[in-house]
Amino acid sequence: MIISFRGVMMGVLTIYQDNYTDSTVISNRFIDEYMQMANDAQLKIYLYLIRMMSARLDTSIGAIADKFNYTEKDVIRALKYWEKNGLLLLDYDERKNIAGIHLMDSATPSVNMTMGAPSVGMTTYPSFVPAVYPDGPAAAPSSILTETVAPSVPEKPNYTAQQLQAFKSDESTARLLFVAEQYLKKPLSTGDMRTILFIMDKLGFSEDLTDYLIQYCVDRGKRDLRYIEKVAISWAEQGITTPKQAAALSGKYDKTVYAIMRALGKTNMPTETEVAYIDRWRKLYGFESDVILAACERTVLATDSHRFEYADSILTNWHKAGVHHKSDIKSLDENHQRTKTNRTMASTNKFNQFTQHDYDFDAIQRSLEKKMLSN
């Protein structure tokens, strides 16, 4: 089925759907594999597209932006995000404007139709920033200087049942899978085993490194294989090939750093820039973790992007205002609210333009009476 949507700014959008049904249906695969990684804007826009398609209703990029109070750039970024994840394909006109959207079936592995040959099971992973050392490579720990350029990460194949069976049949692999189940406290699903196979097969992790990887994530309270896969990709991009190198990398940061990362919605290995922010808050400003986490909480409620910069502005202002403990924040907020209220009252006082004086009206009255009697 083809439905043409007339765009306000971008022209006609033609949206195709592989499987039409007279209801808004979201597959379990979308919930299990895609929902966790998407932000609010991406989820809203994707679900809205499904809803509009199911109801045969017109829409446009401008209309979607108005619907959710986003900019058109926000909508386009969300569409490109889902295209990179294989859930839709975008058509462009001669001016490079989006002219059509092809919705893919999220219940089955996607097929990349934008390249010459189809690539079954295409999966796009989050971008992880390799560690950058401001003083040059010599400042980095020698144990992780095994690669000068981060290797590219291969796509995750759609392993067949026969490949999985062969993987499980190997004696060393069977031992690792058993240990993984003990770490994760659950039987491994087929998807879990595909992830572990990808980590060892395509990312090149040894049995020891894979064992360390799972233990490392579990120690941080993360038992989701999607999270474990993200950490594995990050390590692969940074050239980690042994448990010793991984320990040297992860040992650079204490638990407080990871707590701050989580509070800001970050699940990746902290970059040098992010660590520099955290060091400034803790060492230069001298803030305890509860003050920093309070700033993180306000940041998450205020913005979905540039969270480190936003949190830094809050903590810088608190530092200038003399905040030392979490209790100081309440006093600062109360003072701010009083100042704001006084300004509002002053701006609405119609006599505000006159100079106000304190007068002793009783003394004035007595003076007038005295003058009258003397006359």
pTM, entire model: 0.37
93 and 193 fall within a common domain: no
Q: Which domain holds residue 66?
A: 2-103
Which pLDDT band holds residue 14 (cuts at 50, 70, 90)? Answer: low
90 and 186 fall within a common domain: no
pLDDT digits (tens, 9 = 90+) for 253-290: 677 888 899 899 887 777 778 888 998 998 889 999 99
Largest CA distance in the chain: 122
> How many independent structural domains does the chain possess?
2
310 and 200 fall within a common domain: yes
244 and 305 fall within a common domain: yes
152 and 94 fall within a common domain: no
pLDDT of the residue at 210: 95
Across 230-254, average pLDDT: 82
Q: Could you tell me if residue 113 is inside a domain?
A: no
CA angle, 349 as apex, 343 and 350 as ends, to 5°?
Answer: 145
Query: Please, are residues 112 and 119 in contact by the beta-carbon 8 Å criterion?
Result: yes
Q: For residue 351, give both structure tokens.
A: 């006599």
Q: Could you tell me if residue 108 is inside a domain?
A: no
Q: Are strands 12-17 and 2-6 parallel, antiparallel or unpaired?
A: antiparallel
293 and 175 fall within a common domain: yes
pLDDT digits (tens, 9 = 90+) for 135-181: 333 333 333 223 334 456 678 888 888 888 888 888 888 899 999 99
211 and 305 fall within a common domain: yes
pLDDT of the residue at 90: 80
Q: Could you tell me if residue 19 is inside a domain?
A: yes
Check which CATH number belongs to the domain holding 16 and give it: 1.10.10
Provide the 3-class DSSP secondary structure of residue 250: helix
226 and 181 fall within a common domain: yes
